[in-house]
Amino acid sequence: MQIDWSQFTPWTALAGGLLIGLGASLWALCNGRIAGISGLIASLLERQSDGLAEKAVFLGGLLVAPLVWSLWAPLPAFNLPVAEILLIPAGLLVGVGTRYASGCTSGHAVCGLARLSLRSLVATLCFMASAVGTLYVIRHVLGG
């Protein structure tokens, strides 16, 4: 494995991880709920859900944060190695998977593992195994 040292950004990665942990901790302390992004989005779609405004502000912060960051530093360039049309079924499959797992990576991996939840550990291991399998298929079977 080769590390592209010009693209290696440990301090920004550390800052991002700390901000994610801080945001999830503050959400749990203030609301007594897990900051699972798929659950927050799902509750925005329900008309009878409590705290719609604060959930919308929290999720809006996730969208605005990269724009604020770009005021101080450029956002990293990325290359999407698949056709854009594949993003729609991929997103739908992720949504189905989060429903089967009763939560997403943010809920299980960030919040659940911090609470030492065995269910979250199993879910996170499944997420990681399917990510490794998908990468293997794309790189070695499909030749991407």
- Full-model pTM: 0.67
* Token reading at 24: 């999830």
Within the chain, how many helices (H) and strands (E) appear? 7, 0
107 and 127 in contact (C-beta within 8 Å)? no
Residue 76 lies in a domain: yes
pLDDT in tens, 73-122: 887 777 777 778 888 888 888 878 887 778 888 788 888 888 899 999 99
Rounded CA separation 117/139 (Å): 33
Q: State which residues form the domain around 66.
A: 10-141
Residue 60 lies in a domain: yes
**Residue keyed to tokens 């301090």:** 11
Structurally, the chain folds into a number of domains equal to 1
